[in-house]
Every structure is written in structure tokens, then in C-alpha cells.
Amino acid sequence: MADQVEDEFLRVSEVARMLGIPDSTFRGWVASGTVSVPPHYQFGGVKRFRRSEVEKWVEESRVD
């Protein structure tokens, strides 16, 4: 069951909420390519991100 949650697909708004930023900011990052974002998938024009990849990206972005 934990694997299902780890690999669930998140909407742009859900990723933005995880990061504590406005949806529009994250959408801009994705569209512009100026900020390295996690890989995403597109289903019928809707972008989705795997939770596990977002969490990995966040951890790798940490500055000590």
C-alpha cells in the first residue's frame, strides 16, 4: 500500500502546495525551463508528477 502512495501522480497544484508556492509560480517554472523541475508526464494535455520523484527532487535541492 505504501508503494501506491509513493508513486501516485500529483497535479501541478498539489506539487505547488507541497512547496508552499503559488500554482502560477510552479507552472511558470515548468513552462519556462529556467528552473530544473522533476520529470513530468502528460495525459491529454494535463501534466502530472510522481510523488516519489517530487520528493527526491526536493531532497536533492536542499542547501546545507
- In this predicted structure, the answer to whether residue 6 has a pLDDT above a threshold of 80 is no
**For residues 23 and 16, is the Cβ–Cβ distance under 8 A?**
yes
- The pTM assigned to this predicted structure is 0.83
Structural domain count of the chain: 1
Provide the domain limits for residue 41: 2-60
What distances in angstroms separate CA 18 from CA 44, 45, 61, one per listed residue?
A: 24, 22, 14
Per-residue burial over 1-22, b if 16 or more Cβ lie within 10 Å, else e, is eeeeeeeeebebebbbeeeeee
- The whole-angstrom separation of Cα 52 and Cα 34 is 22
The helix or strand, by DSSP H or E, that contains position 58, with its residue range, turns out to be helix 51-60
Q: What is the pLDDT of residues 33-61, one digit of tens each?
A: 889 999 999 999 999 999 999 999 999 99
